[in-house]
Structure 1
Amino acid sequence: MKVISKFIADKLNCIPKNIGKYKAMNVGQFQFLDSFQHMGMGLDKLVKCLGGKIEKFPLTVNYFTEKGYLMDKIKLLFRKGIFLYNWTNQNISKENYEHAKKVWQVFKMKNFEEYHDLYLETDVLLLTNVFMNYIIIYLKDDGLDLSHYVSASEMFNNSLYKSSGAELKLMTDMNEYLMVENRIRERMTMTLYENMNALYSEAMTQYIPTEMLGKVSPEEVPDIQSIMPDAEIGYMLELDLEAPVHLHDYFADYP
């Protein structure tokens, strides 16, 4: 990223996940998204989900057809290519070796450079086919275009509001906005690890806030323990607390 910024710093902006990873990178009018933020699986598994159907690989078919290859050869590229990486510390399977050898022979590779280039072309086209199919599915189901979202979670959040018909009200009171913003933590925090059956689907059935109704005085707030989880009105509490000096170290790690 430092090298790129030397040449196009005025056109480059990013959405970082952390200091070494980026969710999106914008260069002028072009946006580069991290497909793993949408499809959290390896390319091999994603391609297998397409079932090897010709209509699922239009880009691969078009690209290699224009290069003069027939369909019986192109079908060999409807799966993840075989390329051994030292960092995987794994040997190649007999099945994968036979496939790689067949690709080498059918495409008449003369040297490893040609095989390397074919592998890269295949990988790029496979990922593009997978992402296009992913986009088409959700366009049909939700009418949302995933290419406009940085991650699947962002899209699912919009899908939730779209399907529920809920309308988000803008926060117009600066003090209320700052109250919420000041409570956003910029790092991952965990106080208790728990799990349950249907954890994520259960969370999707819970109430989420859609608007700030305004401030209330402490006297107007009901007993906290009497507020039901499915109550139509919830409360965000701002407290001034004093912790005894001898407990400071105990609380130092949280929040």
Structure 2
Amino acid sequence: MKVRDHSHFTSKYLRPLCLECNFLAQNPKFVPVYFHNLSYDGHFIVRTLGCNDNDIRIIPNSSEKYISFSKQILNNFYVKFVDTFMFLPESLSNLAINLGEDKSKFREITKHFTIENIDLVIRKGVFPYEYVDCNSKLNDTTLPPRYKFYNSLTDDHISKKHYMHACNVWKKFKIKTLGEYSDLYLLTDVLILADVFENFRDICLKTFNLDASYYLTVPGFAFDAMLFYTGVKLERLKEYPMLLMIESGVRGGVCQSVRRYARANLPDVDGIIYNEKKPHVHLMYFDCVNLYGKSRLASLPLKDFEWCYDFSLDVTKIDDDAPIGYILEVDVDYPEKLHDDHCDLPFLPQNSCPPNTKINKLLTTLNNKKNFVVHYWLLKQAINNGLKLVKIHKIIKFTQSKWLAPYVEKCTITRVLANNKFEYEFWKLLVNSVYGKCMENPRKRLNIKLVSNDQKAHQLMRKPNFIDRTIYNNNLMSLHFQKEKIKFDKPIYLGFSILDDELKSETMTQFVTLRPKLYAYTVSGVEYKKAKGVKKYVRDKYMTVDHYLNILSEFSSQNADAQKDKTKQISTSCDMNIIQSNKHHVYSKTMKKIVLSANDDKRVILKGGIRTLPYGHYKLN
């Protein structure tokens, strides 16, 4: 039986629906408001949420950063603030470029601008933020000179090309004041974001029939898309000891510096001083692509999790794609005869504290392993390469299959066929995000509430799990609580189980690494530098390969001289401009940060400071 489905807001007829579907249809109880990089803009909004006593809901990442927050407007209706950066982690400028040359994709922009002006507004503009430090400057009748567009956060001026674009916009739209230019700049920013996110929604709806506007992050969307596309029903772990055992086997990814310096030795190559008395040395940089996707094409845990008591189990005789899989807690010995062959990348990395430290790190060691939780694939690989299985303590048995393969293949094939970079990056993100959602740690979730009502605040502070409060202003405070319960609702066993030449045929002449994620190399005279936690402008403008080499040389000299103090930190500092918030007040500040340091405790650095050995190597005894 068909009925007339209508809007409960406007009474307008929508479509014919069967009676059951009409009963199930619901009006949304929120309206989303999107910002790109809400972690910055959100501070200015949060401080105003105490304007009345209506309910406030937040999903916090920390006390200062929220994934999303909502404010009640009417009874059971909210305005929800969402960060599009959580879906599309790129600058708005790059997202606009990635959308491609097809003007039809800019639907919102074409509603506001004519075809002859469209090329001026489908790219992100520029604005002299630091120049406009008072309202009166918005009355300027000319565009400020190029040097006024200086950005102290990146220590950079805009390019001549970008400045000429701003001048063309000013002239073409017959702008009279800087205030009018500001209005146009903000309008185009909003319209570009609207078009980018609407195109993102179109792809999601077309491919998976899911609307991204009902999600907060791309991992949440990707996980539901995977479940919807595969039709799989993943079993939830119900035994707490089983959950703890699998949780202890989740270790993260290995990152280490094995050899701290290398120089190529090849004839007839620019930039290389060839020594014919020494052997040829080639330096290669490999980026192995789609490793997450490749690992998910294998058989993965699905259901029927139970304890197994057959401790005579021989994992070397079990096929990787067998219908039954195993997770084991074992003791494994690492024979000394394997130490030299395995010293660069030992099997079975484990989380432990390096000597004289209190911080757990993922280390590749040659130590014997006790009560080590491992998937049977990895245990089989280790045994086949000479490690000795000493004892099996516990075994979890489960049914496995290649249930995730159709989703990964769909994303991979569609990525190859993508018409523009926007879609290409989207499909890559959908594959990688599923892993992140499976690895989500509910223990790290925070329990914070924002309140703007004195009575409600006093009521909540009487709870036994209340920890502390932070007052933002006279009308708003946050209350911090211990979690009363932890909901393990994601298949952590999936994350547990998943764990080209990049230089385009050019020659790498030298490579230097000081510690994990802190390295530099030279290719055809061009320097490439990596430094985690260091702003890009600092790395590009103020750091060179020679700085890396000088730090390594000084460290090597200290390490080789028995008279020198080995505890002295060899490092280089640099001023770095950052934006910080405190109680949702935003500040820009300059901080002095250590950008280069040769102290690496994930491996034992040998005399000379270049070669290293893993902990547990027999030569260290």
* Equivalent residue, structure 2, for 1:244: none
In 2, Cα distance between the equivalents of 1:11 and 1:184?
A: 38
Q: Give the AA of the match of 1:51.
A: G
Structure 2 residue corresponding to 1:199, chosen from 291, 296, 314: 291
In 1, Cα distance between the equivalents of 2:252 and 2:94?
A: 31
Unaligned runs of 5+ in 2: 1-42, 73-77, 128-148, 257-285, 332-351, 363-621
In 2, Cα distance between the equivalents of 1:161 and 1:198?
A: 20
On the 8 A contact 2:106/2:122 being kept in 1, the answer is yes
Structure 2 residue corresponding to 1:27, chosen from 53, 60, 71: 71
Question: How many residue pairs end up in the alignment?
Answer: 240
Q: Give the AA of the match of 2:58.
A: N
Q: Structure 2 vs 1, CA of residues 177 and 111 (structure 1 numbering), >3 Å: closer, same or farther?
A: farther
In 1, Cα distance between the equivalents of 2:217 and 2:312?
A: 37
On the 8 A contact 2:70/2:81 being kept in 1, the answer is yes
SS of residue in 2 equivalent to 1:234: strand
The answer to whether residue 124 in structure 2 is matched with residue 80 in structure 1 is yes
In 2, Cα distance between the equivalents of 1:167 and 1:235?
A: 19
Report deviation, 1:140.
Answer: 1.2
- Residues 68-147 of structure 1 correspond to what in structure 2 (within 5 A)? 70-83=114-127, 84=149, 85-147=151-213
Q: Structure 2 vs 1, CA of residues 164 and 120 (structure 1 numbering), >3 Å: closer, same or farther?
A: same
Q: Give the AA of the match of 1:26.
A: S
In 2, Cα distance between the equivalents of 1:24 and 1:238?
A: 39
Deviations 1:29-84 (A, max 9, x none): 2333222222222212211223343321222232x2xxxx5432344211111224
Report deviation, 1:100.
Answer: 0.6
Report deviation, 1:125.
Answer: 1.2
* Equivalent residue, structure 1, for 2:29: none
Unaligned runs of 5+ in 1: 241-246
* Equivalent residue, structure 1, for 2:230: 164
- Residues 187-226 of structure 1 correspond to what in structure 2 (within 5 A)? 189-192=252-255, 196-217=288-309, 219=310, 222-224=313-315, 226=317
In 2, Cα distance between the equivalents of 1:221 and 1:13?
A: 51
SS of residue in 1 equivalent to 2:167: helix
In 1, Cα distance between the equivalents of 2:58 and 2:71?
A: 7
Report deviation, 1:101.
Answer: 0.6
On the 8 A contact 1:5/1:12 being kept in 2, the answer is no
Q: Give the AA of the match of 1:78.
A: I
Q: Whose radius of gyration is greater, 1 or 2?
A: 2
SS of residue in 2 equivalent to 1:80: coil
Structure 1 residue corresponding to 2:96, chosen from 40, 43, 47: 47
More helix by share: 1
Q: Structure 2 vs 1, CA of residues 154 and 225 (structure 1 numbering), >3 Å: closer, same or farther?
A: farther
RMSD of aligned alpha carbons: 3.6
* Equivalent residue, structure 1, for 2:244: 179
Q: Structure 2 vs 1, CA of residues 97 and 224 (structure 1 numbering), >3 Å: closer, same or farther?
A: same
SS of residue in 2 equivalent to 1:33: strand
The two structures have a TM-score, normalised by structure 1, of 0.74
* Equivalent residue, structure 1, for 2:57: 12
The two structures have a TM-score, normalised by structure 2, of 0.34
On the 8 A contact 2:201/2:211 being kept in 1, the answer is yes
